[in-house]
């Protein structure tokens, strides 16, 4: 099947070359970081995780969200998702690979990464996260590839793949839950120390992930002629709407608990992010954009007439993705470190090299997704 | 019940069981056992638990003798910028070292003083729980929370987990920034986390920690918290003391007389 | 097969063959194996010379593990002599890093002990 990825028009190859250029720049920056150290990033003693771990968190959500098409299709036999389910699975595969890459580039000693497996430590959430992510990657590669291969030959997929697919459903929930546990179980990081962190992660994932899926479907339709179907898109839009409502509801819970209880340490993180603390509020504009764009998109999604119009739907999906990307990919991680355990406010600004590595990994993911979807679209449109 | 759904429940159950079976096969028994042992919070009646009492009333403003001694003995680099900063022991104001402690109408003298902060060598350390490789671990024979720099992968999970900001990361090669290289203790490499080790290398030679030995005012007292006759226990008996952020349940081994 | 394709195929094969056999094309003879000698009190090492020559890295790894993680800092030899488990103990007899570096260079071994431990 792989040969189908090498069969494209001029635009296709131009796109591939464009991605390769960004990847090369990222690799160059990463080599710099390897030789000089993570001092080349904007991270420091107080904000010790930055844009890498933030992207990781966002992308685990994207990976997990494949379950929103896999579950209705395989468990409830919801036929309308028949064409889109492979896009979901391949999106999960690429997002998971990007997650692992973001962890790798964040390590001070990547040469020792195998220590996580050589000295397994069940009480460490990071150990479990690495384990469930690798497992999820395998589950999705196996199920996606097998089902697509069978379709190409025009036969039923082998029976053994069903249990693999079923297993991937709770597994998807587990990857994002464990990722939330990375943060939610740490004493002294009040923004993270909340029982609704895992539910909120899942809600935001099930909003942003399917929104990305909708956008990818529109791009595929335009570039390859592969149409996931109007009914599937509409259903996904409903899923995005509900998930976004739950996400903002849970965010509201955070505000209530922190501010009604009036416990300073519980308020500090949210104050810093949304209003500024002690006159410092580096992320305030970001978080406000996230709120406004997110709620605005939600309003669009809530109106059936707008939701079913492609133009409005695309804009709303972009809005939801941007809003949740800022929330998870910018605010959540930085907000957990500010103020520091010693109540100090230290800013964080990613450096050019850091941004270049980040773009590089995104480009690797998008390249991989392009190739996988090229194959999928070729298989699906040939009959 | 839908046939598909029934099958699903059956098969996920099987999958989980199989996963557990595989896991118990792959991981040597000992690794599970030691991990379980390290997260129990029972008082260890047998064995030592090194601890420290800091009499902040005696600590002189502007004096940095303990800090200098520690950083020199352990080859702690000085980068002179807050981003790359590495510190094992340092001084901070009251509100920073004891956030959450009452600060209302506190005497000016208490508020203005600066307080020593270092790794608390917690009895129930969150950093040890978080570390994915056991590069940081609690020594079960004397309670010291130690670092194995050979094993650290530099994920900085321990830095996020530590509620005391006691951990520093080597963002760059530390060697050029070490003012006077001490031969008795190794340096670190770029890419690993480091922190106070309660001078385990000096304790092995029967010496007091470098900070304790360097203080001319007798601010710092070091000893075995599990020994009721020890000097630290006598001080704890006679004075009202604070542990930093005791409400988090980490059970710090460093106590403060305010 | 077109002539152009033929050039590509055989050219590629030739390049592959050259790359694989590159090492054998190199002129020269094996360098002399260095035989560093320990300077010091003249006592025996913690293990026999033959053992140390082949397995010193395993012993050092064991030392590292037991002293850092188990706090067992003293090595006792079968005949009852005691050594502190430290690279500095090695240096007492073996002089400096120079002792290590000869063979390591020859064997292409790149241990990173000196990234942290002092060279003396």
- CA–CA separation, A179 vs B63, rounded Å? 44
Q: Do C118 and B181 touch (CB under 8 A)?
A: yes
Using CB atoms, which residue from A48, A103, A108 is nearest to B192?
A108
The Cα A241–Cα A236 span in angstroms is 9
CB B150 within 8 A of CB C64: yes
pLDDT at A298: 96
Looking at beta carbons, which residues of chain A come within 8 Å of B10? none
d(CA A16, CA A27): 16
Instruction: Give partners of C (≥3 CB pairs < 8 A).
Output: B
**Residue partners of A16: CB distance under 8 A and separation at least 6:** A8, A367, A370
Predicted confidence (pLDDT) at residue B38 exceeds the cutoff of 50: no
Out of B151, B156, B173, name the one closest to residue A115 (CB). Answer: B151
Helix axes A264-274, A284-302, angle to 10 degrees: 80
* Selection from A20, A2, A12, A7 nearest residue A222 by Cα: A12
Say what the pLDDT of residue B87 is. 96
Gyration radius from chain C CA atoms:
23
Q: Which residues in chain A are contacts of B11 at CB distance < 8 A?
A: 162-163, 166-167
pTM, two decimals, is 0.88
Q: What are phi and psi of A348, to 5 degrees?
A: -140, 130
Please list the helix, strand and coil fractions of chain A in percent, rounded to the nearest 5, in that order: 75, 0, 20
Query: CA quadruple B80, B200, A109, A46: dihedral positive or negative?
Result: negative
Give chain C positions within 8 Å (CB) of B139.
71
A108 membership: H or E segment, kind and range = none
| Interface with C, mutate which of B73, B186, B187, B192 (most C CBs under 10 A) | B186
Residues of chain B neighbouring C63 (CB-CB closer than 8 A): none
With CB atoms and an 8 Å threshold, state whether C71 touches B204.
Answer: yes
B178 pLDDT higher than 70: yes
pLDDT < 50 positions in chain C? none
Among A112, A134, A170, A263, the strongest candidate for a mutation testing the B interface, having the largest count of B CBs within 10 A, is: A112
pLDDT tops 70 at residue B201: yes
Residue B18 has pLDDT above 60, yes or no: no
What is the 8-class DSSP label of residue C32? P
The whole-number pLDDT of residue A260 equals 96
pLDDT at A96 (0 to 100)? 95
Backbone angles phi, psi at B249, to 5 degrees: 75, 20
Q: Which two tokens stand for residue A28?
A: 């160059």
pLDDT bucket at B36, cuts 50 / 70 / 90? very low
Which among C68, C69, C115 has the least Cβ separation from residue B189? Answer: C115
Q: What domains lie within chain B, and their CATH numbers? A: 50-257 (3.30.70.20)
Q: How far apart are CA C9 and CA C7, in angstroms?
A: 6
The answer to whether A189 and A335 have CB atoms below 8 angstroms apart is no
Q: Which residues of B touch A170 (CB under 8 A)?
A: 12
Query: B139 vs C117: CB contact, 8 Å cut-off?
Result: no
Nearest residue to B16 via CA among A76, A64, A176, A166: A166
pLDDT computed for residue C29 by the predictor: 67
**Which is nearest to B160 in space by CA: B129, B138, B191?**
B129
The domain ranges of chain A are 2-381
Cβ-defined contact of C68 to B137 (cutoff 8 Å)? no
Rounded-to-integer distance, Cα B244 and Cα A130, Å: 33
- Nearest CB among A39, A75, A336 relative to B8 is that of A75
Per CATH, the architecture of A2-381 is what?
A: Up-down Bundle (1.20)
The rounded distance, in Å, linking the Cα atoms of A317 and A297 is 7
Distance between CA atoms of residues C9 and A293, nearest Å: 57
Per-residue pLDDT tens for C73-104?
Answer: 999 988 888 999 988 888 888 877 778 888 88
Q: Do B142 and C69 touch (CB under 8 A)?
A: no
pLDDT tens-digit readout, A229-246: 899 999 999 999 999 999
Other Cβ atoms closer than 10 A to B15: 18
Q: Name the nearest CA neighbour of A331 among A102, A42, A129, A49.
A: A49
Report the first-to-last Cα separation within chain C, whole angstroms.
Answer: 67
Given this model, what pLDDT does residue C30 score?
67
Contact B186 C118 (CB under 8 A): yes
pLDDT tops 70 at residue B14: no
**Pairing outcome for strands B50-55 and B254-257:** parallel
3-state secondary structure chain B: CCHHHHHHHHHHHHHHHHHHHHHHHHCCHHHHHHHHHHHCCCCCCCCCCEEEEEECCCCCCCCCHHHHHHHHHCCCCCCCCCCCCCCCEEEEEHHHHCCCCCCCCCCHHHHHCEEEEECCCCCCCHHHHHCCCCCEEECCCCCCEEECCCCCCCCCHHHHHCCCCCCEECCCCCHHHCCCCCCCCCCCCCCCEECCCCCHHHHCCCCCCHHHHHCCCCCEEEEECCCCCCHHHHHHHHCCEECCCHHHCCCCCEEEEC
CA quadruple A339, A340, A344, A346: dihedral sign: negative
Residue B28 is predicted with a pLDDT of 45
pLDDT in tens, B72-92: 999 999 998 999 999 999 999
Per-residue tokens: A24: 């090369």
Look at residues A114, A103, A314 and name the one whose alpha carbon lies nearest to residue A211.
Answer: A314
User: Which residues are paired to B193 by β-bridges?
Assistant: B169
Q: Does C110 touch chain B (CB under 8 A)?
A: no
Quote the ipTM score: 0.90
Residues of chain A with pLDDT under 50: 383
């Amino acid at each position: 099947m792989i040969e189908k990825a090498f069969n494209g028009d001029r635009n296709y190859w131009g796109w591939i070359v464009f991605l390769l250029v960004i990847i090369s720049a990222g690799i160059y920056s990463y080599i710099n970081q390897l030789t000089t150290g993570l001092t080349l990033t904007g991270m420091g003693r107080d904000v010790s995780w930055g844009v890498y771990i933030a992207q990781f968190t966002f992308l685990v959500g994207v990976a997990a969200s494949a379950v929103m098409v896999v579950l209705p299709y395989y468990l409830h036999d919801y036929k309308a998702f028949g064409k889109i389910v492979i896009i979901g699975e391949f999106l999960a595969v690429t997002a998971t690979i990007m997650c692992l890459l973001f962890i790798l580039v964040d390590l001070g000693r990547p040469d020792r990464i195998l220590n996580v497996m050589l000295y397994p430590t069940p009480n460490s959430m990071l150990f479990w996260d690495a384990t469930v992510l690798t497992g999820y990657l395998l589950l999705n590669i196996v199920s996606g590839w097998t089902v697509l291969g069978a379709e190409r030959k025009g036969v039923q997929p082998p029976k053994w793949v069903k249990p693999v697919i079923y297993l991937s459903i709770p597994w998807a929930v587990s990857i994002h839950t464990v990722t939330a546990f990375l943060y939610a179980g740490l004493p002294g990081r009040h923004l993270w120390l909340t029982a609704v962190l895992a539910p909120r992660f899942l809600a935001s994932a099930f909003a942003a992930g399917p929104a990305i899926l909708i956008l990818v479907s529109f791009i595929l339709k335009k570039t390859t002629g592969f149409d996931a179907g109007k009914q599937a898109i509409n259903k996904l839009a409903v899923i995005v709407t509900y998930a976004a409502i739950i996400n903002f509801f849970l965010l509201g819970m955070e505000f209530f608990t922190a501010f009604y209880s009036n416990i300073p340490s519980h308020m500090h993180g949210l104050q810093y992010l949304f209003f500024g603390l002690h006159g410092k509020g580096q992320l305030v504009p970001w978080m406000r954009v996230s709120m406004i764009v997110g709620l605005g998109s939600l309003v669009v999604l809530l109106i059936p007439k707008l939701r079913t119009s492609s133009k409005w739907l695309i804009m709303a999906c972009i809005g939801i993705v941007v809003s949740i990307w800022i929330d998870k990919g910018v605010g959540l991680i930085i907000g957990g470190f500010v103020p520091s355990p010693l109540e100090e406010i230290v800013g964080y600004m990613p450096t050019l090299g850091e941004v270049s590595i980040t773009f590089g990994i995104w480009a690797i993911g998008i390249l991989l997704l392009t190739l996988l979807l090229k194959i999928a679209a070729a298989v699906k449109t040939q009959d | 019940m839908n046939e598909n759904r029934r099958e699903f429940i059956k098969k996920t159950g099987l999958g989980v069981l199989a996963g557990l079976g595989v896991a118990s096969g792959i991981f040597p028994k000992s690794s599970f056992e030691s991990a379980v042992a390290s997260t129990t919070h029972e008082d260890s009646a047998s064995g030592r638990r090194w601890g420290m009492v800091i009499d902040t009333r005696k600590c002189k403003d502007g004096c940095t003798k303990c800090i200098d001694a520690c950083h020199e003995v352990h080859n702690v680099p000085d980068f002179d910028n807050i981003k790359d900063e590495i510190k094992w022991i340092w001084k901070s104001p009251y509100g920073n070292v004891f956030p959450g402690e009452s600060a209302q109408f506190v005497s000016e003298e208490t508020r203005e003083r600066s307080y020593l902060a270092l790794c608390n060598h917690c009895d129930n350390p969150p950093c040890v729980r978080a570390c994915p490789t056991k590069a940081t671990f609690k020594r079960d024979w004397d309670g010291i929370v130690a670092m194995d720099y050979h094993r650290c992968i530099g994920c900085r999970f321990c830095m996020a987990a530590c509620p005391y900001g006691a951990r520093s990361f080597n963002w760059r090669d530390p060697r050029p920034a070490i003012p006077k290289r001490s031969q008795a203790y190794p340096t670190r490499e770029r890419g690993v986390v480091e922190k106070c080790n309660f001078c385990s290398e000096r304790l092995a030679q029967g010496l007091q920690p470098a900070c304790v030995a360097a203080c001319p005012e007798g601010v710092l007292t070091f000893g075995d918290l599990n020994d009721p006759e020890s000097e630290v226990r006598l001080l704890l008996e006679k004075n009202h003391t604070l542990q930093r952020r005791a409400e988090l349940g980490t059970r710090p081994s460093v106590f403060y007389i305010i | 097969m077109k002539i152009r394709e033929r050039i590509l195929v055989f050219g590629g094969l030739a390049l592959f063959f050259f790359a694989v056999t590159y090492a054998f094309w190199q002129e020269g003879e094996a360098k002399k194996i260095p035989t560093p000698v320990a300077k010091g009190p003249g006592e025996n090492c913690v293990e026999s010379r033959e053992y140390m020559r082949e397995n010193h890295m395993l012993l050092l790894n064991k030392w590292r593990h037991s002293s850092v993680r188990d706090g067992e800092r003293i090595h006792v030899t079968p005949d009852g002599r005691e050594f502190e488990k430290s690279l500095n103990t090695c240096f007492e007899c073996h002089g400096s890093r120079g002792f290590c570096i000869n063979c390591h260079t020859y064997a292409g071994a790149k241990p990173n002990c000196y990234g942290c431990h002092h060279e003396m």
